Amino acid sequence: MSPPLLSVKDLKTHFFTADGVVRAVDGLSFDVAAGETLGIVGESGSGKSVTALSVMRLLPQRSARTIAGAVLFSGMDLLKLDERAIRDIRGNRIAMIFQEPMTALNPLMRVGEQIAEVLRIHTGANRRKARAAAEAMLHLVRIPDAEKRYDDYPHRFSGGMRQRVMIAMALACDPRLLIADEPTTALDVTVQAQVLKILVQLKARAGTAIVLITHDLGVVAETCQRVIVMYAGRKIEEAEVATLFARPAHPYTRGLMAATPRADSEAGKRLVEIPGLVPSLSEPIVGCAFAPRCPLAYDRCRRESPVLSQIAPGHEVACFAADSGP
């Protein structure tokens, strides 16, 4: 078994605000193998985006800090690298795309230039070569008329096209890992499908590993091989996609499934919502974070915090109720 491409070990990232310390990520561990697509699922506030930012060391420096853990990539702990070293890696060996394509591109810089820039920084290519490579990338993400569009400014592109430009920018230097933080959430449904398709194609072509962060289970089902479910800054379930959909173990995961409209569900059946709210992360949580909303919770859940345990090969859950029975 080859070592994983990325290995996150016990990551803890806290935000220091005037009203207290927010434990956004509270002891998260996961691995990403070379070439695989891992989905990270959770509600807003579960810590998925913060995880991504922590890996890339893009946290807002004044208010957030990763206080514990390690992020191993190609034998290096990314958290311990100095500024120069991490900048070498960003955009080059690990790339990231974000949720909001309308604001993610520099409005005063030509689109092709923005792609060429990342090539010039990391490969030392000269202007001509960088431009050619950037045009090729635009072509790859199916931007029509790539040579002309190179010189256009972002405001001349639609949301879906801008996200494709982002993908081109991210994959220009052929990174081994791409972190995609809700890449399709802000797009129309039809455009979503297009963008995902391109992502999958490019990934197949280059063998890039992808960490796909999303709250949309449909996207996960289509694109991911393995999934982890996050809640209140922790991983509460991890499994292969088929397993997660067929046999969700954690009550929260089951709740998410039940709340997702499915093509094969009975007509007229109501979507079941998970009652209650995500807990505040500024106070230390006693017991299982999900207990207040969990239909299966009993007093052990409220006293002790469940740890992850394997209930089947490749399937982990952090739940006392799931442990003991179906």
Partner 1 sequence: MIAYVLRRIASLVVVMALVAMAVFLLLRLAPGDPTAIIAGDNATPVQIASVRARLGLDDPLPQQFYRWATALLSGDLGVSIFSNTPVAELIGQRIEPTLSLAFATLLFAVPVAVLLGILAAWSAGGVADRLAMAISVAGFSLPGFVVGYFLVYVFAIRLKWLPVQGYTPISQDVASWASHLILPALTLGLAFIALIARMTRTALLDVLAEDYIRTANAKGVSTLSLLLKHALRNAGVPIVTILGIGAAMLIGGVVVTETVFNIPGIGRLVVDAILKRDYPIIQGVILVASGVYVVINLLVDLSYTLIDPRIRS
Partner 2 sequence: MSHVLPLARASTAHQAWRFIRRNPSLVGGGVVLFAAVLLAVAAPCITGDPLTMVPAQRLRPPSPAYLFGTDSFGRDVLARTVHGARISLAVGFLVAISAVACGLAIGLVAGSVRLAGPPLMRLMDALMAIPTILLAVALISLMQASVATVVIAITIPEIPRVVRLVRSIVLVAREQPYVEAAIAGGARWHRLVLRHILPSTIPPLIVQATYICASAILLEATLSFLGAGSPPEIPSWGNMIASSRLYLERAPWTIFYPGAALAVIVLAINIFGDGLRDRLDPRLSRRM
Interacting residues with partner 1 (CB under 8 A): 56, 58, 62, 83, 87-92, 95-96, 98, 100, 103-109, 117-118, 121-122, 153, 155, 166, 169
CB nearer to partner 2: pick between 20 and 275: 20
| Helix pair angle (127-140, 159-171), 10° resolution | 130
Q: Do 150 and 111 form a contact (C-beta atoms < 8 A)?
A: yes
Q: Is 286 in the site for partner 2 (CB under 8 A)?
A: no
Q: Which is nearer to partner 2, 19 or 264 (CB)?
A: 19
Cα separation, 15 vs 132, in Å, equals: 42
- C-beta of 56 vs 228, nearer to partner 1: 56
CA 21 to chain centre: 23
Beta carbon nearer to partner 1, 181 or 237: 181
Nearest to 192 by CA among 182, 201, 203, 202: 182
Choosing from 7, 9, 21, 72, the residue that interacts with partner 2 (CB under 8 A) is: 21
Taking the complex as a whole, how short is the minimal distance between the CB of residue 150 and partner 2, in angstroms? 35
Q: CB-hemisphere CA count at 13 Å for 181?
A: 20
**CB 268, min distance to partner 1, A:** 42
Question: Contacting partner 2 (CB under 8 A), which of 3, 10, 16, 259?
Answer: 16
CB of 16 to partner 2, least distance (A): 7
Give which of partner 1, partner 2, none residue 141 binds (C-beta under 5 to 8 Å, depending on kind). none
Query: Of the two residues 14 and 254, which places its CB atom closer to partner 2 in the complex?
Result: 14
> Of partner 2, partner 1, none, which one sits near residue 153, judging by CB under 5 to 8 A according to partner kind?
partner 1
Binding mask 126-165 for partner 2 (x = CB under 8 A): ----------------------------------------
Q: Which 8-state DSSP code applies to residue 273?
A: P
Q: How many residues bind partner 2 (CB under 8 A)?
A: 5
* Joined tokens for residue 177: 């890992």
Q: What is the DSSP letter of 291?
A: G
Element counts in the chain: helices (H) and strands (E):
13, 12
Q: How many CB atoms lie within 10 A of CB 320?
A: 20
Using the rule CB under 8 A, give the single segment among 19-27, 114-122, 238-246, 308-316 that binds partner 2. 19-27
Per CB under 8 A, the segment of 14-22, 124-132, 151-159, 178-186 that binds partner 2 is: 14-22
Q: Find tokens 């081109």 and name the residue.
A: 168
CB 50 within 8 A of CB 59: yes
Q: How far is CA 16 from CA 44, 53, 73, 95, 191, in A?
A: 19, 16, 27, 27, 38
CB 27 within 8 A of CB 87: no
Using the minimum distance from each CB to partner 1, give the nearer residue, 116 or 288.
116
186, 103 contact by CB (below 8 A): no
For binding to partner 2 (CB under 8 A), which residues are involved? 16-17, 19-21
